[in-house]
Amino acid sequence: MELDVLKELGNIGAGHAATSLSQLLGKEVNMTVPEVKIREIRNLFNEFITDIVAGVIVALQDLDEKKSGYLYIMFPEESSKKIANNLFGLGELDDEMYESTIMEVGNILSSAFCDASADFMGIILLPSPPSFAVDVPAAVVDSVVSQMAKKSDHVILFETSLSSDSDIEIYLALLPEPCLLKDIMKIMEQI
């Protein structure tokens, strides 16, 4: 039952992110039903796709500025290039323009996800400015996972994907810290 409630929270956040992406691209965006998994941190990397991605990591904070978790947005390399080209209508973008574009798209998606999730729970979540890297997903989240491993042996992974008719795919993964997870569960018990 708790996993179903958590899945609903992911559904709300990802739905708002899909709407924002749809408005940004001017295209219909589909969303898969979020999957919620409890994994040992040491096995977390087995959950991610293995292709090169443009990854955007956003730290989530509550009002007391405590880290509450992370939102990891993975853009497979082909998808990230299509998004950047769709937004600018140009041929090849230089590296700086490409990176800036994908970071801003990640920023928009993370803000939509956080706003919707926080509204649903009646809390305030503040996304940090995004960090950007192009690498295999495990390398992009390695530092985040090592920080989380200091507090817990397990992590709850909210995973969903957004896609459009032009073969654009984006994967969202929410990695909540134990404090956020406790808050989520308290709030969900009251609903």
CATH for 2-190 is 3.40.1550.10
The alpha carbon dihedral of 83, 87, 91, 93 has a sign of: negative
* Residue 25 falls in which region: left (phi positive, over 0), alpha (psi -120 to 50) or beta: alpha
Question: Tens digit of pLDDT for each residue in 27-81?
Answer: 888 888 777 777 787 777 777 777 888 888 888 887 766 767 888 888 888 888 8
* Span 83-97, pLDDT tens digits: 888 887 766 778 888
